[in-house]
Structure 1
Amino acid sequence: MSTDTGSPPASEAGPQAADKLDRGVLKIAGVVVLGAIMSILDVTVVSVALPTLMNEFDATYATVAWTMTAYTLALAAVIPITGWAADRFGTRRLYLASIVLFVGGSALCTLAWDIGPLIAFRALQGLGGGMLMPLGMTIMTRAAGPERVGRVMAVLGVPMLLGPIGGPILGGWLIEAASWQWIFLINVPIGAIALVSAWIVLPKDDPQPSAAFDFVGMLLLSPGLALFLYGVSSIPEEGTVTATKVLVPGVIGLVLVVAFVAHALRKADALIDLSLFRNRNVTIAVVTMTLFSVAFMGAMLLFPSYFLQVRAEGTLKTGLLLAPQGLGAMLTMPIGGRLTDKMGPGKLVLGGIVVIGAAMAVFTQVGAETSYVVLLGSLFVMGMGMGVTMMPIMSAALSTLTDHQIARGSTMMNIVQQTAGSIGTAVMSVIFTDHVLDSKAAGAYSAVMQGKVPVEQVPPQLLLQGRTDLAEAFGSTFLIALVLIAACLVPALFLPRNKPAATEGETKAAAVPMH
């Protein structure tokens, strides 16, 4: 595939110029971030619309929750084929097609006449959205070259961190100011801008003949991931791992994934290149990312729930209360990107995990009346830790890969992050629910806050005790998240602590002149 980056070669620009993100790379970054924001925001923006959709379509919560599940499952199903498709058709063409698919699905969502069609259109959105992030990573990494991967990952990290925070704010505001259709309709003008910008800015493709498509691998991995994540995402609703809705798809999905691994180990050009695990940095980064995504993505679910359920805040205000986390990340992320390129990710990731753990420790002591100054300050500190953690882990995996391996590597890291994040969300939901069920008062208060039981039917004293018990349930669940975050320190100790030396293939890839 062409490695045309739209920027001058390192050999001609000089070492200092090559060390910075030049105008050409920044233009490409703007296009990629715009697409990534659309995709990631749509994972969370619908969460605040679920009660509205229940009333609009006269459906149960379990049914409308499929508008989120269908999107996530489509994401998981399409990500594995992205690496091969990028090699075969070119990243620019595939990126443009992904935007069209995503925007088309968004437009159809606004026309949904029932909950069934809405779920189907959300899946169509997910097919386009699932390719945007790994493609964006591939495009950016190739454009910047291995010496600037840290800064590239810092740029891409902004939508990854702001999506879970900005989604509820945007969704709450659009629903209150307009209607539920606007949470989808807003993607149309943004998508149109992204499409035109990508057409103009992204370098033209020169795809090279690639290996035959691994149909067997696709038939094993894509449905395997989708079924496994469906089973995992059903755990909170069912309340037990042994439920048929959890166990059957989960086990079948896991068997298919294991079968894919056995298949990929025997096949030279498998859908996911498992030979990447021979690279020590890739293996350590994958283990670190898995643990971190389980811990942090699970905890991210709890923060808005605390403000909604314990503090009885509205959806829009809850989104605003979470903003300090994004602000903290935006402050440290550019610094983290530059330092990663200069000194390697190891020391930064270790420091970031310690900072996140310190902030998470505050939430383990959360109560019904904990000061907002303390809570928002802790979220800000946690965001600062995130800014020097998640994307440097990605950099550790991608910075030592050759140009040909980048598409497969970014695809694999996105699969790991998506799967681990879904597992973390389910695990934290189940742990929290178990703590709530242990207290009759907390269960009663939670039922009132969710509108399942009229407040008049619950004694005031029971409500007061329930609010306190519910806050303690959050604190106990945050303690589990803290333990998992601390466990991330073990693999992080083995991440590289110095600037990675580019291989000959990488050096050539970084120095391809603009045509």
Structure 2
Amino acid sequence: MNRLTTQELRIAAVIALGGLMAVLDTTIVAVALPRFMTTFSASLTTIQWVVTAYALAMVAAMPLAATFAQRWGARRVYLAALLVFAASSAAAGAAGDLGWLIAARAVQGLAGGLINPLGMTIGFGAVDPARRSRMTTITGLPLLIGPILGPLLGGFLLDSLSWRALFFITVPPALLGIIGVLRWIPADVSSAERAPIDLVGGLLLVPGVVAVAYGFSEETLGAGTRAAIVVAGLALVAVFTRRSWRHPAPLLNVRLLRDRTFGRNTAVLVLYAAPYFGSMLLMPAYIQVIRGDSPMVSALMSVPAALGMGITIQFAARVLERFGPRVVVGTGLSLAIVSTGLTMLVLTPDTPYPLLALLGVFQGAGTGAIMMPTIVSAGRNLRGPDLASGSAILPLSSTIASAVGTAAVSAVFTGLIAEATGGRGLAALGDPSAGATLTGDVVSAYRLTLAGVLAVMVIALVVRLRTRPVPVASAVEPTTARSAA
């Protein structure tokens, strides 16, 4: 019987609640940037730090989750992260000036960056490997639908209440999460020896991943400056990786990537997350610029994908247990590829919204069969300290891939639009002289960008199909194992 027990369902619910808060706070604020510009009389470049500070702090905290869990226990650190998240959310809502708000958002991000990796560690550790897919049916849902529901909730709160509600809204769930941790998540098993902290590794990896994320996501900087920041960040990450390969207790156990089960599934996760999250900027731009509709219409058009994901993930666990990750993830990738390809083919200046919504359902359904099953497959044989490291590596890889994918899609799209409009960009469509030919050229730029997205998804499918299945082990050392996935 692979169903979760009542106690395990309670643990899953607590983890899902924490994950939903952390993910929502990544996207819920984006719709309020114009309001912040007016409220604080600041430029968009300055206001953007309300989002950037949170995102970079999350990336900085993720690599630390494994070490913190090993030294002080996953439950203790998770509880502390929820407390800090609740306090910083309240501080952000009560902010009296922009500096205060940005500082509170940075603290929020530090707590949020610990919540998801630690939640995965606790959730996977609470059940045997054969039922980890059942656990992610609940714990993984917020990670998939949060980025889509965030703007909808943000728009509603902004219109109905005020910008402060965007931050106060997460305080009650955080307090409920704290109560749930105290009541239902078992206390950490004390260890005679506390795991040492790899300080040098932290000084290499944390600035490295932050620099990579910042260089790819900060569009206000010049291309040369961004490239230099990314190169510097990659150099730090490379030095960390080389050092950690031989270090007895590294900040993150990168040797896990040598195991085919973990390494290849991580590669699939990265190869899908980059184009999928990167392409999220295309449809809102199409709806608002080509079609001339409101931001609310573009937000509503994201709902079908959320429904598709929500439905699929409820069945993914049972299907994964029966057919294995190769079939489930391969089918999900195939569905995502077909829906993306069809979107590319049918996209015109007046494609019916119901058709685009239907394709969004299929895209979401494919994503629901890819992301969580891939994470489960990657971590299916991890134990102890390796589970803590793997639980940090997976979300960190996905986050960095999302930043890289968004930057890449944005660069390709911007370049193609500039070519189609003679260097004038999307603003050219607001010119009364813009005719059907120019609009058609811009739509062609959308299609070509989607073609690039499609190509990377195909590579992810090839990697997944070339990854052979391996049975769940009762005991394995992933740092040395070389079994097929």
TM-score by length of 1: 0.88
Match status 1:461 vs 2:433: yes
Deviation at 1:219, TM superposition (A): 0.5
Determine if contact 1:153/1:395 at 8 Å carries over to the other structure.
yes
- How far, CA to CA, are the matches of 2:241 and 2:181 in structure 1? 35
Which residue in the other structure is 2:481 paired with? none
Determine if contact 1:341/1:499 at 8 Å carries over to the other structure.
no
SS, match of residue 488 in structure 1: helix
Which residue in the other structure is 2:63 paired with? 80
Which residue in the other structure is 1:142 paired with? 125
Output aligned runs, 1:364-383, within 5 Å: 364-365=344-345, 366-383=347-364
Q: How many residues align?
A: 476
Q: Name which of 258, 261, 265 aligns with 2:238.
A: 258
Which residue in the other structure is 2:407 paired with? 426
Determine if contact 2:279/2:453 at 8 Å carries over to the other structure.
yes
Determine if contact 2:78/2:118 at 8 Å carries over to the other structure.
yes
- How far, CA to CA, are the matches of 2:303 and 2:63 in structure 1? 32
TM-score by length of 2: 0.93
The percentage of aligned residue pairs carrying the same residue is: 33
Q: Bigger shift: 484-493 or 464-473?
A: 464-473
Which residue in the other structure is 1:336 paired with? 316
- How far, CA to CA, are the matches of 1:283 and 1:440 in structure 2? 43
User: 1:242-280: CA deviations, max 9, x gaps?
Assistant: x22x02322221111111112101211000112212322
- How far, CA to CA, are the matches of 1:96 and 1:51 in structure 2? 34
Which residue in the other structure is 1:435 paired with? 416
Which residue in the other structure is 1:8 paired with? none
Which residue in the other structure is 1:295 paired with? 275
Which residue in the other structure is 1:409 paired with? 390
User: 1:198-238: CA deviations, max 9, x gaps?
Assistant: 2211111223223311000001001111111111112x444
Deviation at 1:180, TM superposition (A): 1.2
Determine if contact 1:344/1:496 at 8 Å carries over to the other structure.
no
Match status 1:167 vs 2:150: yes
Q: Name which of 269, 288, 299 aligns with 1:308.
A: 288
Q: Bigger shift: 63-72 or 122-131?
A: 63-72
- How far, CA to CA, are the matches of 2:205 and 2:14 in structure 1? 30
Q: Bigger shift: 44-53 or 487-496?
A: 487-496
- How far, CA to CA, are the matches of 1:499 and 1:340 in structure 2? 12
- How far, CA to CA, are the matches of 1:43 and 1:446 in structure 2? 28
Question: Using a 3 Å threshold, how does the CA distance of structure 1 residues 218 and 504 change in structure 2: closer, same or farther?
Answer: closer
Output aligned runs, 1:92-491, within 5 Å: 92-208=75-191, 209-234=193-218, 236-238=219-221, 240=223, 243-244=224-225, 246-365=226-345, 366-440=347-421, 443=424, 445-446=426-427, 458=431, 460-462=432-434, 466-491=438-463
Question: Using a 3 Å threshold, how does the CA distance of structure 1 residues 174 and 467 change in structure 2: closer, same or farther?
Answer: farther
- How far, CA to CA, are the matches of 1:348 and 1:336 in structure 2? 7
- How far, CA to CA, are the matches of 2:326 and 2:127 in structure 1? 21
* One-letter amino acid of the structure 1 residue matched with residue 213 of structure 2: L
* One-letter amino acid of the structure 2 residue matched with residue 489 of structure 1: L
Deviation at 1:185, TM superposition (A): 1.2
- How far, CA to CA, are the matches of 2:349 and 2:418 in structure 1? 18
Deviation at 1:145, TM superposition (A): 1.5
Deviation at 1:95, TM superposition (A): 0.9
Determine if contact 2:13/2:139 at 8 Å carries over to the other structure.
no
* One-letter amino acid of the structure 2 residue matched with residue 271 of structure 1: L
- TM-align CA RMSD: 2.0
Match status 1:69 vs 2:52: yes
SS, match of residue 438 in structure 1: helix
- How far, CA to CA, are the matches of 2:258 and 2:32 in structure 1? 44
Question: Using a 3 Å threshold, how does the CA distance of structure 1 residues 58 and 90 change in structure 2: closer, same or farther?
Answer: same
Structure 2 stretches of 5 or more lacking a match?
479-485
Q: Which stretches of structure 1, 4 residues or longer, exceed 6 Å deviation after superposition?
A: none
Determine if contact 2:262/2:377 at 8 Å carries over to the other structure.
yes
SS, match of residue 348 in structure 1: helix
- How far, CA to CA, are the matches of 1:256 and 1:498 in structure 2? 34
- How far, CA to CA, are the matches of 1:362 and 1:206 in structure 2? 52
Determine if contact 1:445/1:467 at 8 Å carries over to the other structure.
no
